Chain A
Amino acid sequence: MSEISRRNLFRAAGVLGASAAIPAELRAEARQSRPSPAARQQAHPKPAARAPYRFFNTLEAAFIEAAVDRLIPPDSQWTGAVGAGVPGYIDLQLAGAYGQGARLYRSGPWDTGLPSQGYQLALTPAQLYRTAIASLDRQLKQHVSSGAKNAPAFARLSSDDQDGVLRDLEAGKMDLSGIPSAVFFETLLANTIEGFFSDPMYGGNRDMVGWRMIGFPGAYATYLGIYTNHGERFTREPMSIAQSPQEHHPMPGGLPPFDSGVQRRG
């Protein structure tokens, strides 16, 4: 580890414990000013009772809940990644096909490669998170001399110190049991952004809060009559896949559909 990251960690160690007992979500709420009730409902959807995690263990959940809310923090106008349900989104992704490395070419031999050659680790996304978070926690604890020894270390840091650790990860200054920290950070950041902006059916973007924040309307099937109203603000409520009309178009031209999977023998 470099001097810079060590400095961050030592600084972090000094303040551990101060906010450890307060869940990230509640801390976020405490910092917010209070808009009108209606606006508040949309900008800060009421946290649903959290579903149990399928993939994350306690240590991992504590890290993820703390880290994603630093990547996309709450502010006076809009909730952050935790309020939008991003930890649950990432959990389901890692428990499913993506986490298991579906569609990833996974044959060796393995080599570090050049940046232009992209991801070259042998790990699936699920293995990447599992290995990286445990390794990070061990390294953080080495610099902690007080507080509950077994409690997840990252979540007990102050926000500023969490940001310092995340910056070190981003800059590739740490080795997470062989994983370059930047590779883990970029995966985490990408998955966090996915969880904030993907359709709510995946567990994040709760009440379409990410879409409301930027003005993206979601799954509308047509703008044919209005896209030429140049410069006009689009004010209709966003729509998720679950809210969309579910009906199939008829096949045009009087031609019968050809059946998926049916093969004629030549």
Chain B
Amino acid sequence: MARTLPSVDVVFVGMGFTAAIIARELKDSSVKMVGLERGRARNTVPDFQSPSMHDELAFAVRHGLMQDLSQETVTFRNTPDQKALPMRQLGSFLPGTDLGGAGVHWNGQTFRFQPEDFRLRSHHEERYGRDIIAEELTIQDWGLTYEDLEPYYDRFEYLLGVGGYAGNVGGEIRPGGNPFEAKRSRDYPNPPTAPAYLGVLFAKAAMELGYSPYQVPSSNMTRAYTNPEGVRLEPCMVCGYCERFGCEHFAKSSPQTTLLPVVLQQPNFALRTNAHVTRVNLTPDGKHATGVTYIDLATGQETIQPAELVVLSAFAFHNPRLMLLSGIGKSYDPSTGEGNVGRNYAYQTMGSVSLFYDEDVELNQFMGAGALGTVISDYVSDNFDHSKLGFIGGAYICAYTTGARPIEYHPVPPGTPRWGLAWKQAVARYYNHTGGLQVHGQSCARRTNYVDLDPTYKDAFGQPLLRITFDFPENDLRMSHYVTDRAGEIAERMGASQVVVNPRTAPYSVVPYQTTHNTGGAIMGADPKTSACNRYGQSWDVPNVFVTGTALFPQNASYNPTDTVGALAYWTADAIKTRYLSSPAPLVQP
């Protein structure tokens, strides 16, 4: 028998960055909020401390901070005619778990999307005509513009304490920054990172070819910083245990280091951990949410938390899954193109270039930080002429130095045996003398790439798993070949004795790690038939349900998603605070 708790005004499902942002923006309101987190509570002290955090096996290889698949995973197939099978081990992507979510183990690479990314279909049709977009691509406009989001990007970047050199402040293009970035209202709050050796080699070669290298905007602090919430962060120590790890130094922006210390002190907010939400409860007509049901994992007690407003603020997969489990919206069917929930699942199209150097070139990449990189944006989005290329979209090319932990990083040139004496000696020879360029590419939505509920496999609570159907569209493979070749040209000038170009190829596999930039499934848009949410992240079908995070992205851009995730959370929070609370109704009339 489920117990029912007293009603609250707002309930959050998942306590990561986006829920913390919205809860903080509502701090002065009278609304009573509860944050439900299915994982445990954790904080910099004592959970992310040296020396135990410097453990590649526990955190990077055994995924100590990531989702426990024995409780819940996803199923996967490449195409709708295949049988989806469960992803039994983590590989291609690493959803976080516990308080703070993936915001604890991210890298801190903090890019804004470009204006055309938000008008992807319109922009390309206007510039090139309709024929440039392949028929199978279901790319859409977001229903909002870069100009709408700019103030919220600014809020988020000052919360995080991003270090960078702005390339465009108020329309003035500044050498040394990213000349392709859209107009920003002011500088970054902190100075850029000092480049690593590989970054210097990259920058020199890129400039010789006429490109415009700059330092990746970094949420690893470049100096001590107190953010507008009064929370202090410390300088990054470049220890090389950043991506996949929690930061011991209070130097990587996370919910714990930027917001939770103040959110958890708000009288109108309560955190409840070990609370696994199984569904959003609806009125009999299915048009209004009455709260959520969760299982208290400490006791097994099924619990009903009534609420006036439900915010689905979990990782990308969980938001559309909860909508489908709860009957919010209509499940997308690729054979008819109908259904607004589950459509436009997208990812990131990753290529790379390997550079093998002589033994006297000491790259020392074990001295690294998650966002320590030197990058060019010349081949991002529509920053280059696509009229004769046969594809749309692009990729950034970056020399990252994020740490070279040897279980996972021991590169050898092609042709080296995979084990044995020759392999061992090649590992010793090449470990400190091999660099790489990352080609971080856009992912276009495609008719047959989507998520829905799996008909066979269940989670630990007996509920259907989310099923992912995904493969790279031909458009994106062409893009990856083209931009990775350009990266190879830069690499040829970087002084390596051997350069190997690795563009993205099909089929997509869930086995090797690629990125955790899974997007779509509960996308925003202008039309309730082809989007799950309106431009504020509000469900078209159940208007007292809001969605946050990358599930809202109609497709994925070249850049990393976190800056846009944070900006959208501030944007949604503003709409809730200034419009929805006083008049709880659809914020957009379809």
A residues lining the B interface (CB < 8 Å): 70-73, 75, 77-78, 80, 98, 101-107, 109, 111, 113-120, 163, 166, 170, 189, 192-194, 197-199, 202, 210-211, 213-224, 226-228, 230-234, 241-242, 244-253, 255, 257-266
Contact = CB atoms under 8 A, between A and B. Distances in A.
B88 A73 contact: no
Contact of B233 (A102, A104, A252): A252
Interface in B20-76: 32-34, 40-47, 49-52, 54-57, 61-63, 68-70, 73, 76
B56 A78 contact: no
B313 interface: no
B62 A103 contact: yes
Given A104-B89, A202-B57, A72 B238 contact: no
Nearest to B460: A107
Contacts of A261: 40-41, 273
B507 interface: yes
B498 to A, nearest CB: 18
Interface of B: 5, 8, 32-34, 40-47, 49-52, 54-57, 61-63, 68-70, 73, 76-78, 82-83, 85-91, 194-197, 200, 226, 230-240, 248-250, 260-262, 264, 269-274, 361-362, 364, 366-368, 404-407, 410, 418-421, 423-425, 427-428, 431-432, 456-458, 507-511
A173 to B, nearest CB: 16
Nearest to A101: B70
Contacts of B85: 111, 113, 117, 120
Contacts of A80: 424
* Chain A interface, DSSP helix/strand/loop, else mixed: loop
Contacts, number: 243
Contacts of B197: 230-231
Contact of A214 (B56, B194, B431, B457): B431
A223 B367 contact: yes
Nearest to B507: A116
A223 B368 CA distance: 8
Contacts of A226: 367
Contacts of A222: 237-239
A77 B262 CA distance: 55
Given A105-B73, A227-B238, A249-B45, 6 more contacts: A116-B508, A119-B88, A197-B406, A214-B406, A228-B195, A261-B273
A253 B231 contact: yes
A120 B421 contact: no
A80 B8 CA distance: 62
Contacts of A231: 197, 361-362
Given A224-B238, A249-B49, A266 B510 contact: no
Contact of B424 (A72, A245, A259): A72
Contacts of A115: 509, 511
B495 to A, nearest CB: 11
Q: Which of A70, A72, A219 has the most CB atoms of chain B within a 10 A radius of its CB?
A: A219
A114 B69 contact: no
28 contacts: A71-B419, A72-B423, A101-B70, A103-B90, A105-B89, A117-B87, A117-B510, A118-B91, A120-B88, A197-B410, A198-B407, A199-B57, A210-B406, A214-B431, A215-B431, A217-B366, A219-B51, A219-B54, A220-B239, A224-B235, A224-B238, A227-B238, A227-B367, A227-B368, A228-B196, A241-B55, A247-B50, A260-B41
A219 to B, nearest CB: 4
A115 B509 CA distance: 7
